[in-house]
Amino acid sequence: MCINLIEDNFRESHVEQIAFRMQLNPGQLAEYRKRHDEIWPELIALLKESGISDYSIFFHEESGGLFAVLKRSAAHSMDTLAQQAIMQRWWNHMADIMVTGANDEPVVEPMERVFHLA
């Protein structure tokens, strides 16, 4: 029983960092920044409730690429975000300024970590 409690506490406190790439449409950086400056409080709450923290997005000017890095808890529920109405509304809100799939979800390319300095 004590071992299970320790394992449960570890899973809840363990954090994983992931990165991915998205693509902004040409000439849309100012609008992308504006929309994120005005990000909806309910979307922030959903992301945090899903176990996401320390989330940053960087822009590569030459390619128009967006590079995102975030931390997520071991007990995250990121896999269910696509079913959430708030997330779907946000994707629809952003679809005109970035590369998306048929359901307005941004096209995401996962990235592999090749180096880490702790």
Instruction: Tell me how far apart the 2 most distant CA atoms of the chain are, in Å.
Output: 57
Catalytic residue among 14, 36, 60, 76: 36
Strand 109-111 to 65-73 pairing: unpaired
| DSSP letter, residue 82 | G
Whether 14 sits among the annotated catalytic residues: the reply is no
- Of the candidates 94, 98, 118, 117, the one whose C-alpha atom is nearest the C-alpha of residue 109 is 98
Active-site residue numbers?
Answer: 36
